[in-house]
Structure 1
Amino acid sequence: YLLACIQFFTPAHVLQEAQREYKVLHEHALVQYLSTYRQADYLSWMFYRLKVEVVPMLLNLPFSIFPVFSMFLFGLYTAKKGLVHNIEQNRSFVKKIQSITGAAGFTLTMILAILKLEILKYGLYQQAAIHLFTSLSGIFLCFFYLTTLLLFLQFSPYASMLGLFKYSGTMALTTYLSQTLICLWMVRSFGLYGTLTLTESTIICLIIYTLQLFCNKWWLYYFYYGPCEWLWRSFTYRSFPPLRRNRKASA
């Protein structure tokens, strides 16, 4: 986040020139982008994405790796401390994290809304401020959502209603990648790119995810891991863990 603040110290004339060049480039690229996604064949689409999306993301990796790696470390710390499996013993600590991150997340989100609505203006640095407060509010809200969900699952009489979601958690990578494949197939097969409304897209997402919940439950009845999780685990530990559970598939 300190790295993100560097833009605020960039001289105004330098930033103005950079934004002017970016706008011209962006307007030209947008026309090509829409044309490729709507009309090009799959291979052209894939190579285009490799050039305009994958390469810039890799170049940005030295900056994006810090928050991503920090989240891995938080997850590791949580597991090592057994916080998830001992919520009752750590309830006061979890509630403290919930209160602090909730208050911070709400405050930062309100500042972000003020910036988005341009009630508070920073001129040339407006987008830099929006980017900074988007990132900051996101990290605090992430921990607020997590702690709230943990407390709800532990102490709410309605927690069992969310039991189905644990299967998607166990198969998170497979679920994510299969969503990409399903949506890619739908968009390519029916020419849906740029045609769906927000409401239609939301309904489609809910249908796909609901079906995945039941598919994941069925899969994990017979297997220990999702297919992608099994491959990832095999790569990580340099050995092939057992995949299939010791039960016969019923008709």
Structure 2
Amino acid sequence: MQTTPTPLSERINELDVIRGFALFGIFLVNMPGYLQPELFLSTQRIPEHASAADFWLRMMFDMFVQTKFYTIFSFLFGAGFYLFMSRLEQRGVAVGGKYFRRLFALFLFGAVHLVFWFGDILHTYALAGILLYLFYRSREVVIKRWAITLLAIYQIPMGLALLVPDDGQNTGAQKEQVVSQAIDAYQNGSWEEWLSFRWNNELPVLVQNEWLMVLTVLPLFLLGLYVAKKGVFYELGRYEATIRRYWMGSLLIGFPLAAMIPLVHFGIVPIPGSLDITRLVLVQWSGLALFVFYLTSILLVMRKERGRERLSFLAPVGRMALTNYLSQTVLCVSIVKLFHLYGSTPLWAGFVLCLFIFPVQVAWSKWWLSRYRYGPLEWVWRCLTYGAVQQLKK
């Protein structure tokens, strides 16, 4: 029995490119959290006295970035789950043990990441991945129905919240106090004070909302599982017409929803609900539509040889997504801590930092994979998954 990881010749290049593209979007989403106590800010996610440049950049993020990329990663997780399991079965390998070792290793990565930054998603993926295993042998129609049902369970109450009038309660003073404590701890505090603030203030919020995060990503996992199980990624030519229909539908739905965000903010379109809730719902709904638009756009572009060539630079960084995702946190937290940037750096400066770091990651990933089979952390992950040291060097 062959129990080694998937060889490069069996990788689906489109998925690596999409993963690399999503990694850049995730970086943009995470950057404000490296610079500000975003967990305790309003849904606008910027300080009250932010500059006009930061305000409009945040608005663009909410319209075209926020929630548009973790959705892609979640979808890819579900697709990757099916590819991982089915390939093991084709080789005559028992899948359960290796899959749960893979999840446990992912949870450990996430737990360590959570120590350094509150925005980790890996531990949530590991927890939701346990539930995903229950659907592996389900029929495609059953998987699709569960995905739609779970989406409805979460999204319908959000839509109804738009009809609830604003109660006028103001928790701004409490938030300002916690924001001030966070800035003091991360800007001036020792490592012990940093961890103490995280343990006492951030982790309780994350734990309380963990079930909600699992419910958010699980239907996206199921959609990825559904599409992969239908064989779409192996027969893109056969499904091209369907992909184009989803591209057009997501375009017609996603961009009007994104355009509603500034219209509601400035009162041009009145909504009964509070501004914070309305903004949250619109960002979430536009994310569900635009993630489909982004994903199908890449698939369609890569149907052409010129498109494949132009997007090929994203494949190496996508193959090393775990290493690059965690290294983004290490780099940014280190830079912010070293130069005392927390709480005082404008959002546009963080955006510029992303534009500098990500191309370096692209170049480094290409260099590394020209010499090694996997990224550093991908190699560790595979060793833990398969219970044996894997060959790293080419």
Asked if these proteins are the same fold (TM beyond 0.5), I'd say: yes
Corresponding position of 2:388: 240
Deviation at 1:216, TM superposition (A): 1.2
Deviation at 1:71, TM superposition (A): 1.6
Deviation at 1:175, TM superposition (A): 0.5
CA contact (8 A) 2:163 2:271 kept: no
Deviation at 1:9, TM superposition (A): 6.8
User: What amino acid sits opposite 2:341 in the alignment?
Assistant: L
Q: In 2 relative to 1, CA 51–7 (structure 1 residues): closer, same or farther, beyond 3 Å?
A: farther
Deviation at 1:2, TM superposition (A): 2.3
Corresponding position of 1:151: 300
User: What amino acid sits opposite 1:220 in the alignment?
Assistant: L
Q: In 2 relative to 1, CA 112–156 (structure 1 residues): closer, same or farther, beyond 3 Å?
A: farther
1:84 lines up with 2:238 in the alignment: no
Q: In 2 relative to 1, CA 196–28 (structure 1 residues): closer, same or farther, beyond 3 Å?
A: closer
User: What amino acid sits opposite 1:157 in the alignment?
Assistant: R
Paired residues for 1:67-216 under 5 Å: 67-122=216-271, 125-155=274-304, 157-216=306-365
Q: In 2 relative to 1, CA 231–70 (structure 1 residues): closer, same or farther, beyond 3 Å?
A: farther
Deviation at 1:79, TM superposition (A): 2.4
Separation in 2 of the partners of 1:10 and 1:103? 27
Separation in 1 of the partners of 2:345 and 2:277? 30
User: TM-score normalized by structure 2?
Assistant: 0.56
- Once structures 1 and 2 are overlaid, which stretch shifts more, 78-87 or 136-145? 78-87
- Secondary structure at the residue paired with 1:154? coil
**% identity of equivalent residues:** 27
Give 1 or 2 for the bigger CA radius of gyration. Answer: 1
CA contact (8 A) 2:162 2:273 kept: no
Q: In 2 relative to 1, CA 231–76 (structure 1 residues): closer, same or farther, beyond 3 Å?
A: farther
Q: In 2 relative to 1, CA 62–198 (structure 1 residues): closer, same or farther, beyond 3 Å?
A: closer
Structure with greater contact order relative to length (CA < 8 Å, sep ≥ 6)? 2
Deviation at 1:123, TM superposition (A): 5.2
Q: In 2 relative to 1, CA 11–105 (structure 1 residues): closer, same or farther, beyond 3 Å?
A: closer
Deviation at 1:81, TM superposition (A): 2.5
CA contact (8 A) 2:261 2:279 kept: yes
- The correspondence for 2:370, drawn from 217, 221, 224, is 221
Q: In 2 relative to 1, CA 174–120 (structure 1 residues): closer, same or farther, beyond 3 Å?
A: same
CA contact (8 A) 1:84 1:150 kept: no
Separation in 2 of the partners of 1:227 and 1:150? 28
Q: What's the Cα RMSD here?
A: 2.3
User: What amino acid sits opposite 2:268 in the alignment?
Assistant: I
